[in-house]
Structure 1
Amino acid sequence: MITKINKGSEWRKWNFHVHTKGTNKNDQFTSSSTEDFFYIFFKAAFDNKVEAIGITDYFSIDRYLEALDYVSDIYNKENATGDKLFTNEEVVFIKRIFLFPNVELRMLPATDRGRLINIHCLFNPEYVPHLENDFFGHIENQDGKKMNRHGLTDYGRELGSSLTTDEQRYKKGIDSFVIDLKTLKSVLNKNKNFRDNCILVVSNSNNDGASAVQKHYDLFENEEGSLDGLRSSIYKISHAIFSTNIKDINYFLGKRLEGTDGYNEEIYKQEVNDVIRDRGSLKSCLVGCDSHKESTLFNKFTWLKGDLTFEGLRQICFEPEQRVKIQTDKPDFKEDKVVIDRVKFHSPNNVFTPEVIHLNQNLNVIIGGKSSGKSILLYSIAKTLLPDNSILLNENGEEKYDLTSLDSDFNFEITSRAGISQKMFREAGENSIIPDIKYIPQNYLVKLAEPEVNKKGRPLNKLVRDLINEDDDSKTKYDNFIRNVKQYDKGREELIDKYFELIDDTESLENELKTKSNKEVLETNIASNTKKVEELNKAAGLSTEQLEEYKKIQERQLISDQKFTDFKSDFESIKISLKELDKVAEDLISGKNTLLNTLKLNSIKSYYEDKLSAIDSLKDNISALRKELKIATNEEGEKSFIEENPFKTEQNIIESEASAIDLAIKPFQQNEEIQKQITVLNQSIANDKKLLSEIDSLGKQITDKKALVQSTHEDIFKIYEESHNEYVNIIAELKDRTLDLEKDGLKIEGISQFNFPKLYKNIYEISDGRTASYNNYPQILDNKKKSTTECEFLSVKEGVLTVFNHIMDGSYALLPKINKKHAIKTLLDDYYFDYWKITYKNDKLGEMSTGKASFVILMLIIGLSKSKSPILIDQPEDNLDNRSITKDLVYYLKNKKLERQIIVVTHNANIVVNSDAENVIVANQKGQNNSESSSEFQFDYINGAIENTSPIDESETDLLKSMGIREHVAEIVEGGKEAFILRERKYGFH
Structure 2
Amino acid sequence: MNNNPAGSTWKKWDLHVHTPSSLVHNYPGSNQEERWEAFLTDLEALPAEFKAIGINDYIFIDGYERAREAKFKHGRLKNIDLLLPVIELRLDKFAGVVKKEKDGTYSQSGWNRINLHVIFDAMDPAIIQQQFLNSLTPSYQLIPGSSSWQGKWKGVITPESLAELGRMIVESAPEDKKGDYAPHMREGFNNLCVSLDKVDEALDKPYFAGRFLIAVGKTEWANLKWDDQSIAEKRNIINRANLVFTAAANPAEYHAARKKLEASKVNATLLDCSDAHAPRASKDKDRVGNCFTWIKADATFDGLVQAIAEFEDRVFIGDTPPKRLLVEANRTKYVSKIRINRKAGSTLADTWFSVDMPLSHDLVAIIGNKGSGKSAMADIAALAGDTRNFRSFSFLKDTRFRNPRNKLAQHFVGALGWHDGSESERQLDQDPSQTSVERVKYLPQSYLETLCNELGDGGSATFDTELRKIIYTHVPDEERLGYASMDDLLGFRVAEIDSARERVVKEISKANAEILQTERRLTPEFKQSLQEQLDAKVAALNSLEASKPTPVEDPTTSDTAQEESKAAAETIQALEEELRKLRDEERSLRDKKAAEAKRQAVLSRIAQAIANHKKAHDQFVVELAPMLVEAGAYVNASEMVELRIDTSKIDALGRSAKESIAVIDATLSSQEPTGLVKRHEATEAAMAEIRGKLGEKQRLFIIFKDQVSKWERAKADLIGSKDKAQSIDWFKAEIESLAALPDKLTELRTRRVELAKIVHEQLGKTVEEYRRLYGPVQEFVKSAAQMDMHLPLDFDVRIEESDFQDQFFLRINRQSRGSFAGKDESNHLMRGLLKEADFGEVDSTLKFLDSIDDMLHFDRRESGGRETRIADQLRKGVEPQDILDYLYGMSYLEPRYSLTFNGQEIGQLSPGERGLLLLVFYLLVDKDDIPIIIDQPEENLDNQTIFKVLVKCIKAAKQRRQVIMVTHNPNLAVVCDAEQIIYATCDKTTNTFNYVSGGIESPLIRATVVEILEGTEPAFKNRKQKYGL
TM score, norm. by length of structure 2: 0.67
Please say if residues 120 and 213 of structure 2, whose CA atoms lie closer than 8 Å, have aligned partners that are also in contact.
yes
Q: How does 1:670-685 map to 2 (within 5 A)?
A: none
**Aligned-partner residue type, residue 845 of structure 2:** V
Give the structure 2 partner of residue 746 of structure 1.
792
State how far apart, in whole Å, the 2-side matches of 1:509 and 1:789 are: 32
**Cα contact 1:447–1:457 (8 A) shared by 2:** no
1:871 is displaced (CA, Å) by 1.8
Q: Which moved further from structure 2: 233-242 or 417-426? A: 417-426
User: Any idea what the Cα deviations from partners look like across 1:877-906, whole Å, max 9, x if unmatched?
Assistant: 232233333443333322322222111111
The match for 1:544 is none
Determine if the alignment matches structure 1 residue 227 to structure 2 residue 240: no
Structure-1 separation of matches of 2:302 and 2:207: 14
Question: Deviations for 1:521-551, whole angstroms, at most 9, x for unmatched residues?
Answer: xxxxxxxxxxxxxxxxxx99xxxxxxxxxx9
Q: Which residue of 2 aligns with 1:438?
A: 441
Aligned to 1:793: 842
Alignment check: 8 A CA contact 1:136 1:146 kept: no
Q: What's the counterpart of residue 191 of structure 1?
A: 205
What's the counterpart of residue 141 of structure 2? 142
Q: Contact (CA 8 Å) 2:593, 2:664: kept in 1 or not?
A: no
Closer/same/farther in 2, CA of residues 174 and 737 from structure 1, 3 Å limit: same
- Structure 1 pair 794–452 and aligned structure 2 pair: CA distance change class (3 A): closer
For residues 12-161 of structure 1, the aligned pairs below 5 Å read 12-21=11-20, 23-25=22-24, 27=26, 33-34=34-35, 37-38=38-39, 41-42=42-43, 45-46=46-47, 49-68=49-68, 94-112=78-96, 114=98, 115-139=112-136, 140-142=139-141, 145-147=155-157, 149=159, 152-153=162-163, 155-156=165-166, 159=169
Q: What corresponds to 2:872 in structure 1?
A: 816
Look up the SS of the partner of 2:988 in the other structure: coil
The residue aligned with 1:953 is none
Structure 1 residues 379 and 485: CA distance shift in structure 2, 3 A: farther
Q: Name the structure 2 match of 1:733.
A: 773
Residue 105 of structure 1 contacts residue 119 of structure 1 at CA under 8 Å; is this kept in 2? yes
Residues 461 and 836 of structure 1 are in contact (CA less than 8 Å); yes or no, is this contact kept in structure 2? yes
- Are 1:13 and 1:302, in contact at CA under 8 Å, matched by a contact in 2? yes
| Contact preservation (8 Å) 2:23, 2:185 | no
Task: Give the equivalent residue in structure 1 for 2:361.
Answer: 361
Residues 714-729 of structure 1 mapped to structure 2, 5 A cutoff: 714-727=754-767, 729=769
Summarize deviations over 1:751-788 as a string: whole Å, max 9, x none: 5255599559947955787563899xx9x967546648
1:236 aligns with 2:248: no
Which amino acid is the alignment partner of residue 750 of structure 1? Answer: D
1:884 matched to 2:868: no
State the secondary structure of the residue aligned to 2:950.
helix
Counterparts in 2 of 1:394 and 1:210: CA distance versus 1, 3 Å: closer
Q: Are 1:327 and 2:311 an aligned pair?
A: no
Does residue 902 in structure 1 map to residue 963 in structure 2?
yes
- Whether the 8 Å CA contact 2:15–2:273 is kept in 1: the answer is yes
Instruction: Return 905-914 or 457-466, whichever deviates more.
Output: 457-466
Superposition map of 1:337-376 within 5 A: 337-348=332-343, 349=348, 351-376=351-376
Q: Max radius of gyration: which structure?
A: 2
Length, aligned pairs only: 850
* Number of the residue aligned with 1:203: 217
CA 1:656–1:459 in structure 2 vs 1: closer, same or farther (change >3 Å)?
closer
Q: In the TM superposition, what are the counterparts of 1:272-287 in structure 2 within 5 Å?
A: 283-287=268-272
Paired residue for 1:336? Answer: 331
Deviations for 1:504-532, whole angstroms, at most 9, x for unmatched residues?
788999999999999xxxxxxxxxxxxxx
Encode CA deviations 1:148-179: one digit per residue, 9 max, x unaligned.
5465456446545699xxx9754442232223
Separation of aligned partners in 1, 2:991 and 2:38: 50
Q: What one-letter code is carried by the residue in structure 2 that aligns with 1:825? A: D
Change (3 A) 1:372 1:656: closer
1:329 deviation in Å?
A: 3.0
2 CA distance for matches of 1:820 and 1:304? 74
Amino acid across the alignment from 1:442: Q
Offset from partner CA, 1:725-768 (integer Å, 9 cap, x none)? 43454245324323423424231242525559955994795578
What is the letter of the counterpart of residue 42 of structure 1? L
Identify the range of structure 1 (838-847 vs 312-321) with the bigger mean alpha-carbon deviation: 838-847
Aligned mate of 1:611, from 637, 649, 662: 637
The Cα of 1:492 is off from its aligned counterpart by: 6.4
How far apart, CA to CA, are the structure 1 residues paired with 2:619 and 2:394? 44
Distance in 2 of aligned mates of 1:805 and 1:753: 23
Q: Is the 1:138–1:147 Cα contact (8 Å) retained in structure 2?
A: no
Q: Determine the structure 1 residue equivalent to 2:885.
A: 825
User: Of 861, 864, 879, which aligns to 2:922?
Assistant: 861
Sort the Cα spacing of 1:919 and 1:180 in 2 relative to 1 into closer, same or farther, 3 A.
same
Work out which of the residue numbers 294, 308, 322 in structure 2 matches 1:317: 308
Tell me how large the CA RMSD over aligned residues is.
5.9
* Partner amino acid, structure 2, of 1:868: D
CA distance in 1, matches of 2:620, 2:1014: 63
Matched to 2:23, the amino acid is N
SS for the counterpart of 1:893 is: helix
Q: What is the SS of the residue equivalent to 2:312?
A: coil
Partners of 1:71 and 1:95 within 8 A in 2 = no
Q: Does 1:967 align with 2:982?
A: no
Q: Which moved more, 1:730-739 or 1:148-157?
A: 148-157
Amino acid at match of 2:221: G
Aligned partner letter, 1:974: E
Mapped to 2, the partners of 1:129 and 1:592 lie a distance apart of 91
Alignment of structure 1 residues 608-687 onto 2, 5 Å: 611=637
Distance 2:358 2:993 in 1: 16
Closer, same or farther: CA 782–967 of 1 in aligned 2, 3 Å: same
Alignment CA distance shift 1:787-1:314 (3 Å): same
Instruction: Tell whether the 8 Å contact from 1:768 to 1:814 is kept in structure 2 after alignment.
Output: no
**Contact 1:20/1:29 (<8 A) preserved:** no
State how far apart, in whole Å, the 2-side matches of 1:657 and 1:110 are.
128
Helix, strand or coil for the counterpart of 1:99?
A: strand
Percent sequence identity over aligned pairs: 20
Alpha-carbon separation, structure 1, partners of 2:333 and 2:812:
51
Q: Which residue of 2 aligns with 1:176?
A: 191
2:819 is aligned with 1:772: yes
Structure 2: which 5+ runs fail to align? Answer: 99-111, 143-149, 174-181, 247-252, 475-483, 539-569, 572-580, 688-708, 859-865
Deviations 1:5-50 (CA, angstroms, capped at 9, x unpaired): 742111222222233445322537589832563366236512x743
Deviation at 1:291, TM superposition (A): 3.2
Deviation for aligned residue 1:376:
0.1
Counterpart amino acid of residue 339 in structure 1? Y
How much does 1:836 deviate?
6.0
Q: Secondary structure at the match of 2:427?
A: coil
Whole-angstrom distance in 2 between the partners of 1:795 and 1:431: 44
Call closer, same or farther: CA 1:874–1:134 in 2, change over 3 Å.
Answer: same
Determine the C-alpha separation between the residues in 2 that align with 1:808 and 1:884: 53
**1:64-97 superposed Cα distances (whole Å, 9 cap, x missing partner):** 3444455568879xxxxxxxxxxxxxx8xx5244
Task: Kindly indicate whether the alpha-carbon contact (under 8 Å) linking 1:24 and 1:58 is maintained by their aligned counterparts in 2.
Answer: yes
Contact kept? 1:366, 1:920, Cα under 8 Å: yes
Instruction: Give the CA deviation at 1:341.
Output: 1.4
What is the deviation of 1:434? Answer: 6.5
How far, CA to CA, are the matches of 1:608 and 1:716 in structure 2? 39
Who is 1:419 aligned against?
421
- CA distance in structure 2 between the partners assigned to 1:459 and 1:798 by the alignment: 31
Return the TM-score normalized by structure 1.
0.70
Task: Give the superposition deviation at 1:121.
Answer: 2.2
Output one character per residue of 1:83-139: Cα deviation in whole Å (capped at 9) or x when no partner.
xxxxxxxx8xx5244332333222231224642112222222234341111221122
Letter in structure 1 aligned against 2:844? S
